[in-house]
């Protein structure tokens, strides 16, 4: 498995290189956007870890070119930028996942493994679980023929759950990923957000897709 890291902070790049090499990956590093774009579009990588703020060419531009040339490439944004708008923009542009610095290496590794396991049938722009369809580019979610009217935050939350179908996601992980806040003990905000999302995604329909796993978190799957 070959991974490309596009990262201009040499410390972060070295840390990633060490950790990923020790985990058995072949790693290439580009320290600016121009080199990153060249490597990403001229060589095959199983996964590209992409920073957003980069010298010469930024991550937004790079992912557009990657998506145009290699629609199947898996891309994980790793960035200090936060805010749900950035996250939604990243997902809209075709990122498969998004992790905000600082991060735990174990969390990054878990996400990388999950991305690499993910079947290529699940294209990055469209997610389908049962009769739920999510079009990330068009910002549209439907169940059957019924369009769901979601806020940007609800949409980001649904995308996150759908991209990791069958995986139980903890409240802390959801809070950190969708809101970029460390809630510690107060993850009640996640429960409230999930309840609102359920009212739109599940309540009007017979088949429920969002499930509570007691003591652990939430999972979106067909049961
Ligand atoms: Ca940077």
Domains detected in the chain? 2-115 (3.40.50.2300), 126-220 (1.10.10.10)
- pTM, full prediction: 0.55
| pLDDT(120) > 70 | no
CA of 219 to the centre of ligand 1 (A): 32
CA distance 209 to 122: 17
| pLDDT(47) > 70 | yes
- Predicted pLDDT of residue 95: 86
Name the more confident of 211 and 223.
Answer: 211
CA of 103 to the centre of ligand 1 (A): 14
% of the chain exceeding 70 in pLDDT = 91
CA triple 190-194-198, angle to 5 deg: 175
CA of 176 to the centre of ligand 1 (A): 20
Name the more confident of 201 and 105.
Answer: 201
| pLDDT(122) > 50 | no
| pLDDT(28) > 90 | yes
- Predicted pLDDT of residue 137: 77
- Predicted pLDDT of residue 178: 74
CA distance 52 to 85: 14
| pLDDT(121) > 60 | no
CA distance 191 to 196: 9
| pLDDT band for position 48 (cuts 50, 70, 90) | very high
CA of 7 to the centre of ligand 1 (A): 6
CA of 77 to the centre of ligand 1 (A): 11
CA of 52 to the centre of ligand 1 (A): 6
Burial 74-109 (b: 16+ CB within 10 A, else e): bbbbbbebeebebbbbbbebbbbbbbbeeeeeeebe
Query: What counts of helices (H) and strands (E) characterise the chain?
Result: 8, 11
CA of 50 to the centre of ligand 1 (A): 9
β-strand partners of 77: 50, 98
CA of 192 to the centre of ligand 1 (A): 34
CA of 139 to the centre of ligand 1 (A): 27
CA distance 110 to 114: 6
CA distance 78 to 52: 7
| pLDDT(150) > 70 | yes
CA distance 174 to 71: 27
């Amino acid at each position: 498995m070959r991974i490309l890291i596009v990262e201009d902070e040499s410390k972060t790049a070295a840390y990633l290189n060490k950790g990923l090499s020790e985990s058995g990956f072949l790693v290439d590093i580009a320290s600016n956007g121009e080199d990153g774009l060249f490597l990403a579009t001229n060589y095959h990588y199983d996964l590209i870890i992409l920073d957003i703020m980069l010298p010469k060419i930024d991550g937004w531009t790079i992912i557009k070119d990657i998506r145009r040339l290699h629609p199947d490439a898996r891309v994980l944004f790793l960035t200090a930028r936060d805010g749900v708008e950035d996250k939604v923009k990243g997902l809209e542009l075709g990122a498969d996942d998004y992790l905000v610095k600082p991060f735990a290496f174990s969390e990054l590794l878990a996400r990388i493994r999950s991305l690499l396991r993910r079947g290529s049938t699940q294209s990055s722009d469209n997610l389908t679980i049962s009769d739920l369809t999510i079009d990330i580019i068009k910002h549209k979610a439907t169940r059957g023929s019924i369009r769901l009217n979601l806020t940007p935050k609800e949409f980001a939350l649904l995308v996150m759950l759908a991209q990791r179908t069958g995986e139980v996601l903890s409240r802390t992980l959801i809070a950190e990923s969708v809101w970029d806040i460390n809630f510690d003990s107060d993850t009640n905000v996640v429960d409230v957000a999930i309840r609102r999302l359920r009212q739109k995604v599940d309540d009007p329909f017979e088949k429920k897709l969002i499930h509570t796993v007691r003591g652990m978190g939430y999972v979106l799957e067909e049961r």
